[in-house]
Structure 1
Amino acid sequence: MPVTLSQAFISNFLGSSPKWYKITILAFLLINPILFYFDPFVAGWALVIQFIFTLAMALKCYPLQPGGLLAIEAVIIGMTTPNQVMHEIEANLEVILLLVFMVAGIYFMKQLLLFGFTKIITKVRSKTAVSLMFCAAAAFLSAFLDALTVIAVIIAVAVGFYSIYHKVASGMSFGESHDQPQNNNQTLDEHENELEAFRGYLRNLLMHAGVGTALGGVCTMVGEPQNLIIAAQANWNFAEFAIRMSPVTVPVFFAGLLTCLAVEKFKIFGYGAQLPEAVHKILCEYADHEDAHRTNRDNMKLIVQAIVGVWLVVGLAMHLASVGLIGLTVIILCTAFNGVTDEHALGKAFEEALPFTSLLAVFFAVVAVIIDQQLFAPVIQWALSFEGNIQLVVFFIANAVLSMVSDNVFVGTVYINEVKAALLNGQITREQFDLLAVAINTGTNLPSVATPNGQAAFLFLLTSALAPLIRLSYGRMVWMALPYTIILSVVGLVTIETGFLVEMTQYFYDNNFLIHHSVQEVMNSGAASH
C-alpha cells in the first residue's frame, strides 16, 4: 500500500525511535505553549522535566534532536531569548572548547592510554584491586584535569578493549593484514554469556571511574568548571581552595573508596562482574602481540604521547591556559610529531565530541529558561532565610537536590552569585560566606553523581558511542550510582552538620593556613572579574 504523507511524516520524525516516544515528544511540543500561556513558572519546570526525559531515553533517541526541538520552541514562545542563550554559551565557552579540543586531543593519545591500562588489566587479576585503581586514578587525575577529560580517557580505553575482543570474537587475528579466521568451538549461548560478562565488567570500571572524577574534581579549583567560578568569587588561590574543601573532601574521598570495595565484595547494585577468562586471555595475547611487533617508530610514538601527557598535566595543574587551548596544543603536538597530517585522519578525532558539544549548547538554552523564569529563586530565598550551621546544611541539601535534576555548573554558579550578593548587602559575614562557598561546592559536586544530567562527565558517558555497546542506559547508571550517591551525600552532610567544617576552618585560621579576606577585597575581585 502507498504511504500517505502523514505516515511518512511519523516515519521520518526522529527516525527509528519507538512510535510511543515520537508521540510523547509531539505531545510535549503541543502542551508547552498552552502551559506557558497560563503559568510561565509551571511551563518552565515542565520543560526541565521534559529535557531530563530526553536524557533518560538517550538509548531510544539521541537527546540532541528532541531536546533541541523543545529548546527551539521555548525560544519561539518567549520562555527565553536568543540573546540569553548566547550569553550562557559565551559564559561556558571554556567548557565548549574543552569538548571540541581536549576530547579530540585524547584521541591522539589513545595508543599510550591503551598500552598503560592494558597492562593494568592483564597484570592485576583481582577485580577489586582493578576497580580501586580505576576509581583512585580517575580521582587523582580529576584533581588536576577536568572530569570530562578524564572520562574521555577512560572511554577511549574501554572502546579499545571492546574493539580488541570484538575483533577476535568475530574471527579475526590481531594483525593489520592477512587476518585468518580463528578456531572457535564456543556455542552461541556461551559467546553471549561471555560477551554479557565482559560488558558488565566494563560497566563496572566506567562507573567506578566516573564516580572517581567526582571524588577528585571536588577537591581543587581546576577539577570542575564551577570550582573555578566559586574560587574567583571568593578570591581563593589553588592551595587555599584545596585546604578549605579538605574537611569535607578528605573524609568523602576515603568513604568513596570504601564504597567501591563494598559494592565489589558484596556484588550489589550491578557490581562484581568478573572479567571472563577467555577475554583475559585475548587481552593478554593482544598485549604480547603488540609488544612483539612494536617497532622503533611505534616506540617513538609512545614516547611523544608520554611527553605530551606530562605537558597536559603540568599545563592544567598550573592553569597555564584554558583547558580547551591546552587540548588544542595536545592535538598539534601529537599529530605533528607522530606524522598524522591527513585531514580525514584529523576529522575522526572530532566525531565523538561534536554531537555532545551540540547537545551541551541545547542544554544552555534550557539553562537560559531556568534563569529567565527564575525557577530556582524560591529555593535560594528559602535557604538564605536560615542562619548559622543550619544554613550550611540547607545550602548543601538545596544544591544537592537541584544538581541532581540540573547541571551542577549552573547550580553552583547561581548559588555562589546569590551568596556573594548577600555578603555585599550585609546579610551574612565573610566567615559565613567562606563556609557557604564550601557547602555550595561540595553540594553541587558530590550528590550530583545521582543522575547523568547532574554531571557533565556522566552525561558524556551516557551519550557516548560506547554506552549502547555495553548496555549502559540512564536507568542503569542511576542504579549503579545509588550507593555512591547515598554514601557521599551522607558523609558530606555529616561533616557539615556536626560542625566539623567550622572547627577545621578555625584550626586552619589559627595556624595561618588560610588568608582572611575582607569584604572590600572580595568586592574588588568581583569588579575585576567583570
Structure 2
Amino acid sequence: MQQSMASALFKNFLGQAPGWYKKFIIACLILNPVIFQINPYIAGWALVLEFIFTLAMALKCYPLQPGGLLVLEAVAIGMTSPNHIKLEIVTNIEVVLLLIFMVAGIFFMKDLLLHLFTRLLIKVKSKVLLSLAFTFAAAFLSAFLDALTVVAVIIAVATGFYSIYHKVASGKDYHHDHDHTHDENVASLNRDDLDAFRAFLRNLMMHASVGTALGGVMTMVGEPQNLIIADKATWNFIEFFMRMSPVTVPVLFCGLLTTVLLEKFKWFDYGAMLPDNVRRILTDYSITLDKERSKQENIKLVVQGLIALWLVIGLALHLAAVGLIGLSIIVLATSMCGIVDEHQLGPAFEEALPFTALLCVFFAVVSVIIDQSLFTPVIEWVLTYEGKTQLVMFYLANGLLSMVSDNVFVGSVYINEVATALSKGEITRDQFDLLAVAINTGTNLPSVATPNGQAAFLFLLTSALAPLLRLSYGKMVYMALPYTIVLTLVGLAATYFGLHDLTDWLYQMHLINHHDPSQMATPLSH
C-alpha cells in the first residue's frame, strides 16, 4: 500500500513530464539546502542554472511548476525573502501590467492583424523579402513600442495562420470549430505540408524576435532597461538614439544582412519555403472572407485600425504605462466590437497569465542573485579595467550575464554601479556616457543567445505557439546562434573602434550634449 501511494504521488508530481526529469527536480530540491549550508554563493549559482534548465525543458514541462518549487525552497532555506521578491515584482510592475493587459488587448485586434499579414504573406512570394520584411518591421516597431508587444502581435498572427491551415488540413471548413493543438485528424497527405509550414513559421518567428532586439536597443522606449539607463544619464529620446547610433546602426544593417544570407543559403534551419498547398489555402481563405465579410465586420476592421493607431501614438509618446495603454485597448476594442460577455473576455488572458506567473518566479530568482551577490565579483573585476578595454569588458560582461539572467536586472545593476562611481569622482562624465552606451548595447545584443536573455524571447518559448511549431529552447538557441555571433561581434567592434571617435564627432556637430564641458574625457587609447 505504501509503495502504491508513493507511485501515485510520483505520477502526479509534474504530471506528464518524463520520469528522469521528475527525478532531477527532486534531486535538486534535496541537494540545494545541503549546498547552501556549505557555500551559499555556489548554492545561488546552482539555483540559477537549475532554473535555466527548467526553461530549456519548457516543452517537457511548463517551467512555472518546477521553477516555482525551486524558488519556494530557496525562500524557505533563506536564500532570499518574500519581501525582496515583492520588491522586485513591484519594481517591474510595468512589465507585469504589460503582460496582463497588452497581450490580451492584442487578442482583440487579431482580425485586423490576420487580415493585414495574410495579404502580406500572399503578395510577397520571395521568402528572402518576406523574412526581411518581418525582421525590419519588428525592429522598427520595437524602437517605438515594446518588444513584448511586438512579439505578442507576431505570435497572434502566426497562430492565426497555423490554425487556418490546420483546420482545412483536418477536413473542416473555415467556419467550423477546431482544436489546432492535435494532429490526429490531419490527413496523411497533408502531414508533410504541415511540417514544412511549421518550419516556415519558425523561420519568420525567429527573424521577427531578433528584429525586436535590433530595434529595441536603439531607443529609450525599446526595452525597460533603456528607460532606466536614460533616466540615470538624463538623456532625452533624441540624445539616447544618437549616443547609441555608433553601435546600433551598424548592428541593424549587419543583422538585416544576416537575415538575407540565412535565407539565401538555408543555414541553421532557415530557408524553409511556404508549401504551395498552404499558400493556396491561405489565399482562398482571404478571398472567401473578403466576399463574405458584412458591413458590420468591415466596421470592426476600421475600428481596430483606429485603435492600432492609438496604440502606436500612445506608446511612441509614452503617454502612459504600457500596461495601462493595453487596458485601454481592451476597453475600446471590446466595447466598439460588441464583446460584452465575460466568457468572451476570458480566452484573451489565457496566453499571458501563465507567463506572468512564470515571470514573477523569474523575479524571485533575480532576488536570489541580488541577496547572494552572485554578480558582485564580475562587476568588481570589470571596474578594474580602464579606457577602451573597460568599454569592451563592460559590453561583454553585460552580454554574458544577460544570457543567464534578465537583461533588465543586469542593466540596472551596472548603470547604478557606474552612476555611483561618477558621483564619487572615480570616473568622468564622458566616461560615464560611453560606459552607459556599452551597458545598454551589451545587455540588448549578446542576450539574443538564449531565450531567458530577453523577456520577448522567453515569452515566445513559453507561448502556446512554441509547441505547435516544435520550437524548443535548444532550437531557439541554435537558430539564434548566427545572429548572436554577428550582433555580438559587430557591436563589440563598434564599441572598441568607433564609439569614442563617433561620439566626439557628435559633440562637434552639436547633435548630443556635452554635459560637463569643464571635464576632459579620460583618453581611451591606453
Q: How many residues align?
A: 510
Per-residue Cα deviation, 1:341-385 (whole angstroms, up to 9, x for no partner): 000111111010000000000000000000000000000011111
> Which residue number corresponds to residue 378 of structure 1?
377
Question: Could you tell me which of 482, 497, 514 is aligned with 2:512?
Answer: 514
- Counterparts of 1:81-480 in structure 2 under 5 Å? 81-175=81-175, 188=188, 190-480=189-479
Over the matched positions of the two proteins, sequence identity in percent amounts to 65
Per-residue Cα deviation, 1:402-451 (whole angstroms, up to 9, x for no partner): 11111111111111111111111111110000000000000000110000
C-alpha contact 2:55 2:473 (8 A) present in aligned 1: yes
Structure 1: 4+ residue segments shifted above 3 A: none
Aligned mates of 2:461, 2:37 — CA distance in 1:
34
> Which residue number corresponds to residue 523 of structure 1?
none
| Secondary structure in structure 2 of the residue aligned to 1:14 | coil
- For residue 5 of structure 1, report the CA deviation from its aligned partner: 0.9
C-alpha contact 1:430 1:519 (8 A) present in aligned 2: no
| TM-score after normalising by structure 2 | 0.95
C-alpha contact 2:255 2:486 (8 A) present in aligned 1: yes
- For residue 504 of structure 1, report the CA deviation from its aligned partner: 1.1
Aligned mates of 2:191, 2:318 — CA distance in 1:
47
Could you tell me which amino acid in structure 2 is paired with residue 507 of structure 1? Answer: W
Q: Does the alignment pair 1:494 with 2:488?
A: no
State the Cα RMSD in Å. 1.4
C-alpha contact 1:405 1:454 (8 A) present in aligned 2: yes
Aligned mates of 2:492, 2:383 — CA distance in 1:
18
Per-residue Cα deviation, 1:474-514 (whole angstroms, up to 9, x for no partner): 0000000000000000000000111x111111111111111
- For residue 517 of structure 1, report the CA deviation from its aligned partner: 2.5
| Secondary structure in structure 1 of the residue aligned to 2:137 | helix
| Unaligned stretches of 5+ residues in structure 1 | 178-185, 521-530
- For residue 518 of structure 1, report the CA deviation from its aligned partner: 4.5
Could you tell me which amino acid in structure 1 is paired with residue 509 of structure 2? Answer: N
> Which residue number corresponds to residue 79 of structure 2?
79
Aligned mates of 2:231, 2:299 — CA distance in 1:
41
Per-residue Cα deviation, 1:292-343 (whole angstroms, up to 9, x for no partner): 0111111110111110101101111111101011110011111111111000
| TM-score after normalising by structure 1 | 0.95
> Which residue number corresponds to residue 182 of structure 1?
none
Aligned mates of 2:187, 2:441 — CA distance in 1:
50
Aligned mates of 1:292, 1:192 — CA distance in 2:
30
C-alpha contact 1:215 1:253 (8 A) present in aligned 2: yes
Aligned mates of 2:79, 2:501 — CA distance in 1:
45
Could you tell me which amino acid in structure 2 is paired with residue 375 of structure 1? Answer: L
Could you tell me which amino acid in structure 1 is paired with residue 134 of structure 2? Answer: F
- For residue 191 of structure 1, report the CA deviation from its aligned partner: 2.0
Distance verdict in 2 for CA 1:70–1:2, change over 3 Å = closer
- For residue 245 of structure 1, report the CA deviation from its aligned partner: 0.5
| Secondary structure in structure 1 of the residue aligned to 2:452 | coil
> Which residue number corresponds to residue 483 of structure 1?
482
Aligned mates of 2:13, 2:123 — CA distance in 1:
49
- For residue 2 of structure 1, report the CA deviation from its aligned partner: 10
- For residue 83 of structure 1, report the CA deviation from its aligned partner: 0.9
> Which residue number corresponds to residue 48 of structure 1?
48
| Unaligned stretches of 5+ residues in structure 2 | 178-185, 519-526
Aligned mates of 2:481, 2:344 — CA distance in 1:
40
- For residue 3 of structure 1, report the CA deviation from its aligned partner: 7.0
C-alpha contact 2:225 2:411 (8 A) present in aligned 1: yes
Per-residue Cα deviation, 1:173-214 (whole angstroms, up to 9, x for no partner): 12359xxxxxxxx972x4221111000000000000000000
Distance verdict in 2 for CA 1:77–1:187, change over 3 Å = closer
Could you tell me which amino acid in structure 2 is paired with residue 494 of structure 1? Answer: A
Could you tell me which amino acid in structure 2 is paired with residue 133 of structure 1? Answer: A
C-alpha contact 2:169 2:187 (8 A) present in aligned 1: no
Distance verdict in 2 for CA 1:97–1:191, change over 3 Å = same
Aligned mates of 1:31, 1:156 — CA distance in 2:
41
Question: Could you tell me which of 501, 504, 512 is aligned with 1:503?
Answer: 501
C-alpha contact 2:170 2:187 (8 A) present in aligned 1: no
Distance verdict in 2 for CA 1:519–1:3, change over 3 Å = farther
| Secondary structure in structure 2 of the residue aligned to 1:143 | helix
Could you tell me which amino acid in structure 1 is paired with residue 320 of structure 2? Answer: A
Could you tell me which amino acid in structure 1 is paired with residue 169 of structure 2? Answer: A
Could you tell me which amino acid in structure 1 is paired with residue 501 of structure 2? Answer: E
